[in-house]
Each structure stands twice: as C-alpha cells, then as structure tokens.
C-alpha cells in the first residue's frame, strides 16, 4: 500500500474552510461533530519520526462513562500529556515487514507446553488461535464457546486456519497477535503501546463525554461510521456497514484527530493492566490524575472469572463482532480484560510515541 504520511494528511485539512478533510470516499455532507485542534496542526510540521502518526494534544478530558457497563464507571477527569499515535491499526503488510526483518515467531505459532495446560485435550496442544465461527441459528449468549473455536494452525498469516491466507487482506489490521507480539512489533519500530488513558483520549477525537468517537448518533444521516455488527449476534450478520469480517484500515471516516477505526473493526491492546472500574483514578477537573496507569498485575483479574487470578491487559475500541444485543462496546469508554497470551481473529493494535517530558 502507498504509505500515507501524517504531514500530507494535514496539508489536505488546511486547504478547506471548515477544518475537515473533504477528500476520500465519504459523504462529507454528513455533519460529523469534530474538533480539529489547531494545536495538532502546528505539531504536524515538526514531525519526522512519526510517519503514519498524528499528534494527539495533551489536556484534561472526561474518561469513562456512567451510562453503560459498570466497568466503564465512574466517568472522571484525567490529564495526559500529548503524544503521537498511529493513524491506523497495524496492518498485515506492516506486520509482515516486521516478521521478515526479525524472524519473530508469534505466540500463536509456537508449540504449547503441556505443563502449562494441565488436563487439556492433546489435539488442542498444538499451535493455533481463537477464530470466530458464526453459528447458523440463535445460541445461548452465556457460552462463548458457541461462537469461538480454537483452530490449530490459525495465526496472523492464516486468519481462519491453515487453508486461509492474507491474499487481498494486506491493508486489513493484523489479528491473532498476543500482547507480547504487539509489544515486540512496537519495540522493533521504536514505539510503544498506548496506555488506556492515551487510547481513550485519542479515540474521543476532541469530543467531551460523547457516546461514540464521532458524536452521539450511531449512524448520522444513515451513514455507518465504524465496522461493527448489525443484526442479532452471533448468528445473523446483516453487514449493513459493508463488512462481515475485518475491513481494510481507513474504510470509515476518521475521528476529530484524524485517526481511523478507533471504534469497531478490531479490539486494540493497551499497556495497562485491567481493573474492574476506574475508582482509583477518580478526580475532578481541577485536580485530575496526570498520565494515569491501570492496576498493578497482582490486582488485575477478570471480575467475571474471580476464581482465575490471571492478570489481564485492557483492550479498547470494540470490534466487528460488537453488536447491540451482546457487546455494545464500539465506544471510546468501553473496555474489556484480556490475558496477555490470548490471540483471536478480532484483536489487533496500534502504536504511540510519547515524548519525554
């Protein structure tokens, strides 16, 4: 794919009167409530390290939500410093370049140690990854095994299993990457993974406390703004947004900071350990915590599985599998826990560069 450099993007923005980039395949008559921060533009011309990145301004913002799932509450103010963030999730092509340069082997491609999985069936002790498999009829939503399967041979090169490939999916976000894989890529390219606060600050695009990354209306003027699930999950995917699985990065309009796919498509790894809610960070706008981080590993676990005390990282953004009837999490406040050695067909990542202060 042709590299899209952030400085070119900003040059486009500056040519229009209303502050919005009107190029591209979108219907710009749609009133997207965005704030193009002039501060961003000043920084764009300074960048040389940050190809494919955009400057996210520091400041105080309202993080979390009191209107949805309990783990997002309470909505609270936090303050973070400015940073650079990838405009897109890391693509298969970018990840391929990393693999070719380093010979890195992802977690999903490595042999499993039976000692780590006592009682596991031998046929499952082979390299593989979790793949979404759509049932053909309504199923019990309490059992994720009704739509997730561990598929031997599934990995980032073979997203649905050994017989699948990346052909035609070069610009799709890489999936089947465990946390370690995302971290390895970030280290290789001289960047890092975002904290949860950085990720949410970026996803909100300059909007304060709104439902989605683009405003409060899910489909403004009937336009789909993200790759999510329409229909009754997990058996009925109406594909009204045009995509059943992942979409190429940048297939939907950017948010107010110029970032693409900060809602839906794939969940994205953050560097923070998950805690059940935001209580530790509660603050007022006057004295909000600065650059907050998540739990310590010893306190991190999934509250839905309290007996399994495995620390988990925070995933943000929702995916193409998020649906109103099951997982309404294509919102900037949404968050779920994930074990660091897990890889699936709906988890990817993007990187940040945080200037030293």
Give residue number: closest CB to Ca ion.
243
Smallest separation (angstroms) from Ca ion to the CB of 334: 17
The CA-CA-CA angle for residues 322, 275, 342, to 5°, reads: 55
Smallest separation (angstroms) from Ca ion to the CB of 320: 5
In this chain, which stretch among 8-16, 189-197, 221-229, 303-311 interacts with Ca ion, using CB under 5 A? 221-229
Within 240-259, which residues bind Ca ion (CB under 5 A)? 241, 243
In this chain, which stretch among 96-104, 143-151, 225-233, 340-348 interacts with Ca ion, using CB under 5 A? 225-233
In this chain, which stretch among 33-41, 67-75, 227-235, 251-259 interacts with Ca ion, using CB under 5 A? 227-235
Is residue 20 a contact partner of residue 37, using CB atoms and an 8 Å limit?
no
Smallest separation (angstroms) from Ca ion to the CB of 168: 17
* Helices and strands (H and E) in the chain: how many: 5, 11
The CA-CA-CA angle for residues 252, 336, 310, to 5°, reads: 145
Q: Which is nearer to Ca ion, 106 or 319 (CB)?
A: 319
Give the position of tokens 């990854």. 129
Q: Which is nearer to Ca ion, 179 or 243 (CB)?
A: 243
In this chain, which stretch among 18-26, 91-99, 174-182, 318-326 interacts with Ca ion, using CB under 5 A? 318-326
Residue 157 phi/psi, 5-degree rounding, is: -80, -25
Is residue 107 a contact partner of residue 176, using CB atoms and an 8 Å limit?
no
| Residue 261 binds to Ca ion (criterion: CB under 5 A) | no
Q: Which is nearer to Ca ion, 243 or 269 (CB)?
A: 243
| Cα–Cα distance, 165 to 11 (Å, whole number) | 36
CA 74: distance to chain centroid? 21
Handedness of CA 12, 258, 186, 161 (dihedral sign): negative
Q: Which is nearer to Ca ion, 171 or 293 (CB)?
A: 171
Q: Which is nearer to Ca ion, 92 or 227 (CB)?
A: 227
Smallest separation (angstroms) from Ca ion to the CB of 34: 22
What are the start-end ranges of the H helices in the chain? 6-14, 38-44, 92-102, 179-188, 196-204
Is residue 256 a contact partner of residue 205, using CB atoms and an 8 Å limit?
yes
Answer for which of 227, 251, 270, 342 binds Ca ion (CB under 5 A) is 227
- Residue numbers at the binding site for Ca ion (CB under 5 A): 227, 241, 243, 320
């Amino acid at each position: 794919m042709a590299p899209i450099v952030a400085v070119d993007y900003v040059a486009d923005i500056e040519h229009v009167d209303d502050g919005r980039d009107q190029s591209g395949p979108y219907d710009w008559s749609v009133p997207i409530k965005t704030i193009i921060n002039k501060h961003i533009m000043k920084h764009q011309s300074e960048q040389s390290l940050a190809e494919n990145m955009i400057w996210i301004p520091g400041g105080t913002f309202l993080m979390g939500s009191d209107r949805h799932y309990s783990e997002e509450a309470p909505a609270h103010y936090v303050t973070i410093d400015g940073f650079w963030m990838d405009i897109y999730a890391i693509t298969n092509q970018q990840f391929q370049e990393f693999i070719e340069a380093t010979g890195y082997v992802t977690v999903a491609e490595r042999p499993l140690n039976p000692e780590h999985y006592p009682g596991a069936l031998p046929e499952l002790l082979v390299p593989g990854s979790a793949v979404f498999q759509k049932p053909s009829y309504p199923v019990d939503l309490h059992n994720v095994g009704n739509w997730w399967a561990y598929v031997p041979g599934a990995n980032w090169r073979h997203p649905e299993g050994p017989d699948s490939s990346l052909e035609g999916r070069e610009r799709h976000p890489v999936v089947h990457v465990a946390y370690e894989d995302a971290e390895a890529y970030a280290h290789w390219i001289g960047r890092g993974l975002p904290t949860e606060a950085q990720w949410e600050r970026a996803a909100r695009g300059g909007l304060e406390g709104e439902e989605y990354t683009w405003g409060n209306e899910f489909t403004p003027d009937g336009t789909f703004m993200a790759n999510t699930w329409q229909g009754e999950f997990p058996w009925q995917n109406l594909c009204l947004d045009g995509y059943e699985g992942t979409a190429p990065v940048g297939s939907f309009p950017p948010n107010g900071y110029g970032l693409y796919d900060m809602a839906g498509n794939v969940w994205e790894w953050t560097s923070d350990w998950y805690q059940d809610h935001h209580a530790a960070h509660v603050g007022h706008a006057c004295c909000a915590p600065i650059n907050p981080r998540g739990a310590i590993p010893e306190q991190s676990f999934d509250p839905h599985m309290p007996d399994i005390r495995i620390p988990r990282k925070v995933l943000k953004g929702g995916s193409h599998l998020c649906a109103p009837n099951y997982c309404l999490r294509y919102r900037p406040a949404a968050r779920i826990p994930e074990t660091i050695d897990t890889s699936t067909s709906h988890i990817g990542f993007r990187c940040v560069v945080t200037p030293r202060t």
